[in-house]
């Protein structure tokens, strides 16, 4: 509980047996439920997570978004939902800075920005930095948002998240949430978060295929919403 609010954490994890135990050990003890969404790990990720008392759910379909959607089913009764990665690149001990603005009612969604925070050398690849900058620039142009990152470490009001009706099943999850939050006029803010080199092998930005696929999906998602919503900037629609 945080400020009388129930807090649930969702961690999508694919083959993170060396990292997931560390992530779970650093999660603050005021968190009410931790869900590890595992889809198709061939290592001991699920066992390590279960031993650390996390709720483990299995999603047969590969994909970051599909894993998050599966995890979401386990936190439907939570007032606040937090997402972070299972590779120990995020700092779970910084979670209060993301949750407290929602727990005190001043924000609906808080993004942990690695661009505003301290990122260890090599933790963010150049293509990741450029891709995030470009996506944030386009969102600013289209919907007058002021995002600086598509960071995985984020918190959101549970009811607001359910209203967003999240759909993306792979690389477009983070950007879909940020665009829908803008279109729904959610009270959104960013806080700086630290970011370190992951433990183990990257499945997304550390691979050429992952970077390209993620890049294409992120730009396609922006284009789809821009066409769907019409190129009328959010502010002009008021
Ligand atoms: N369950 C699940 N988790 C995934 C999948 N792909 C990536 N992840 C997890 O999502 C998080 C981000 O992936 P990662 O490989 O670190 O991407 P990067 O941070 O962009 O290099 C990590 O916790 C991964 O284990 C997937 O297909 N399914
Ligand atoms: Mg990572």
Between strands 7-13 and 80-83, the pairing is: parallel
Q: Which atom of ligand 1 is the closest one to the Cα of 62?
A: 27
Mean pLDDT score, 168-197: 97
Pocket lining: 198 vs ligand 1, CB cutoff 6 Å: yes
Instruction: Provide the pLDDT confidence category of residue 231 given band limits of 50, 70 and 90.
Output: low
Q: Is 45 a domain residue?
A: yes
Q: How far is CA 100 from the centre of its chain?
A: 17
d(CA 6, CA 154): 16
Q: Is 1 a domain residue?
A: no
- Please check the confidence at residue 225 and state whether its pLDDT lies above 60: yes
Q: How many domains does the chain have?
A: 1
The DSSP element (H or E) to which 188 belongs, if any, is: strand 188-192
| pTM exceeds 0.85 for this model | yes
Q: Is 2 a domain residue?
A: no
Pocket lining: 12 vs ligand 1, CB cutoff 6 Å: yes
Q: Is 32 a domain residue?
A: yes
Over residues 147-167, the pLDDT tens digits come to 999 999 999 999 999 999 999
Q: Which of 17-26, 57-66, 208-217 has the highest mean pLDDT?
A: 17-26
Over residues 20-40, the pLDDT tens digits come to 999 999 999 999 999 999 988
Residue 146's domain spans which residues? 7-237
Mean pLDDT score, 182-202: 96
- DSSP annotation of 93: G
CATH number for the domain harbouring residue 193 = 3.90.550.10
Measured in Å, residue 12 CA sits from the centre of ligand 1 at 6
Q: Is 137 a domain residue?
A: yes
Q: Is 214 a domain residue?
A: yes
**Where would I find the beta strands (DSSP E) of 19-164?**
33-38, 55-58, 80-83, 109-113, 154-157
Residue 19 pLDDT? 98
């Amino acid at each position: 509980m945080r400020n009388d609010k129930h807090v649930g954490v969702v961690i999508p994890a694919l083959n993170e047996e060396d990292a997931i135990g560390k992530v779970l050990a650093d999660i603050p003890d005021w968190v009410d439920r931790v869900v590890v969404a595992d889809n198709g790990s061939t290592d001991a990720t699920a066992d390590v997570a279960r031993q650390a008392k996390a709720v483990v759910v299995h999603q047969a379909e590969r994909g970051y978004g599909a894993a998050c959607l599966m995890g979401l089913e386990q936190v439907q009764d939570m007032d606040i939902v937090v997402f972070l990665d299972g590779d120990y690149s995020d700092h779970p001990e910084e979670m209060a800075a993301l949750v407290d603005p929602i727990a005190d009612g001043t924000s609906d969604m808080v993004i942990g920005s690695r661009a505003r925070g301290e990122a260890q050398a090599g933790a963010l690849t150049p293509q990741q930095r450029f891709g995030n900058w470009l996506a944030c620039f386009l969102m600013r142009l289209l919907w007058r948002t002021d995002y600086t990152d598509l960071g995985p470490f984020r918190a959101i009001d549970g009811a607001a998240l359910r209203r967003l009706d999240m759909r993306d099943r792979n690389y477009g999850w983070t950007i879909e949430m940020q665009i829908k939050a803008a279109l729904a006029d959610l009270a959104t803010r960013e806080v700086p978060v630290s970011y370190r080199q992951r433990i183990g092998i990257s499945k997304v930005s550390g691979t050429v295929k992952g970077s390209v696929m993620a890049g294409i999906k992120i730009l396609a998602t922006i284009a789809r919403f821009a066409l769907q919503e019409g190129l009328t900037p959010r502010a002009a629609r008021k």
